[in-house]
């Protein structure tokens, strides 16, 4: 066989298209991660301003006029309201101004990520220096000493998401990308659910009691982990049912290429460019990271929206898998049977 014929046999047109798809995913991976993370800048960071009388609105007006729009200030009546809104994750920081003193207090929350905290300290430090005042930071939701840069929640959720789409991919590789019938689809979804329950508790135990990296309720993290793994797994099963093996690539595009850099893990959302800041909360990694940090550092507050996002991925994945399987089975049943090859008459 000639070498060209060997190539044609070894690399079929279908394989060539899949390799081309891998190249596209590789380039999108580079573009997404570098585009999101190469130059973090604070934009519209929600901060509260507390000061007596008209001074609060004057300070807020000055903060709104900063070049580049790094801050989105709001005036609050007192420090207690500012602390409450920070723990509710309605604001990211609070400036407590005391005109009678030479220093102001900046309430921060390092549990939401050290990079955002550093950016806020830098912005407010320059402002205070220009006004010849000093800044006293106070951490109202400090990250655990075992949680370097507040990244443990992000890596935990990334691990759960990886497990979800790998479980679905293995089911596809072992028995075909598309389920043969509705019973097979239900079995795959049930297998993914059992895997999600196991992956959720084991991830929570490793991150919490074993490594001590993440405080908060292990039971709450278990529930989050099970939902996250199942949401990603069900979505991957749905994509495989619709698109075959190409669905695995689409899942990687959504979860890894789009989801990881926009999740607010390495850099919290206010430090990301507009595109990634917009898509992050709608994807499983971003929603899961937000909930994990709330469980660990913010008393479980502000989790309804992200949990609904994860639930939508889970329910949508189940429905699409079941409906698409039924439609594909009906299409196969409607196709005429292939003609049987003619058989030679028996020898006389």
Q: In this predicted structure, which of 14-18, 87-91, 126-130, 283-287 has the lowest mean pLDDT?
A: 14-18
Does residue 343 or residue 27 have the better pLDDT? 27
Task: Report pLDDT for 179.
Answer: 79
| In CATH, 45-139 is 3.50.50.60 | no
Q: Alpha-carbon torsion 175, 178, 184, 190, what sign?
A: positive
Does residue 342 or residue 59 have the better pLDDT? 59
Q: In this predicted structure, which of 46-50, 183-187, 318-322 has the lowest mean pLDDT?
A: 183-187
Indicate the domain borders of the chain. Answer: 45-139, 148-333
In this predicted model, what pLDDT tens digit does every residue of 44-88 receive, in sequence order? 999 999 999 889 999 999 999 999 999 999 999 999 999 999 999
Q: Tell me, rounded to whole angstroms, the distance of Cα 342 from its chain centroid.
A: 57
**Rounded to two decimals, what is the model's pTM?**
0.90
| CB-neighbour burial class of residue 5 (10 A; exposed 0-12, middle 13-18, buried 19+) | exposed
Q: In this structure, what token pair is assigned to residue 6? A: 């060997």
Task: Report pLDDT for 341.
Answer: 58
Residue found under tokens 């495989």: 240
């Amino acid at each position: 066989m000639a070498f060209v014929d060997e190539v044609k046999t070894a690399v079929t047109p279908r394989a060539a298209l899949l390799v081309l798809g891998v190249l596209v995913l590789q380039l999108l991976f580079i573009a997404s991660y570098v585009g999101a993370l190469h130059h973090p800048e604070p934009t519209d960071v929600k901060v509260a301003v507390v000061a007596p009388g008209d001074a609060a609105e004057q300070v807020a007006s000055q903060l709104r006029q900063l070049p580049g729009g790094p801050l989105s200030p709001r005036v609050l009546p007192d420090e207690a309201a500012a602390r409450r809104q920070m723990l509710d994750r309605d604001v990211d920081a609070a400036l407590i101004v005391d005109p009678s003193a030479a220093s102001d207090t900046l309430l921060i929350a390092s549990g939401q990520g050290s990079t955002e905290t550093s950016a806020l300290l830098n912005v407010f430090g320059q402002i205070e220096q220009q006004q010849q005042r000093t800044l006293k930071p106070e951490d109202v939701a400090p990250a655990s000493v075992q949680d370097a840069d507040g990244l443990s929640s992000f890596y935990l959720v990334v691990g759960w998401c990886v497990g979800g789409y790998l479980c679905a991919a293995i089911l596809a590789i072992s028995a075909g990308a598309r389920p043969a019938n509705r019973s097979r689809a239900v079995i795959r979804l049930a297998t993914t659910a059992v895997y999600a329950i196991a992956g959720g508790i084991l991830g929570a135990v490793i991150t919490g009691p074993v490594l001590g990296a993440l405080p908060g309720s292990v039971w709450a993290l278990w529930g989050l982990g099970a939902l996250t793994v199942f949401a990603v797994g069900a979505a991957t099963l749905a994509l495989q049912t619709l698109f075959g093996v190409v669905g695995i690539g689409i899942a990687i595009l959504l979860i890894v290429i789009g989801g990881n850099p926009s999740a607010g893990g390495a850099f919290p959302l206010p430090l990301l460019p507009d595109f990634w800041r917009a898509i992050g909360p709608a994807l499983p990694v971003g929603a899961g990271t937000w909930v994990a940090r709330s469980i660990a550092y913010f008393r479980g507050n502000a989790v309804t929206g992200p949990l609904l996002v994860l639930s939508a991925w889970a329910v949508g994945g189940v429905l699409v898998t079941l409906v698409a399987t039924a439609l594909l089975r009906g299409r196969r049943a409607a196709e005429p049977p292939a003609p049987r090859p003619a058989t030679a008459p028996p020898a006389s």
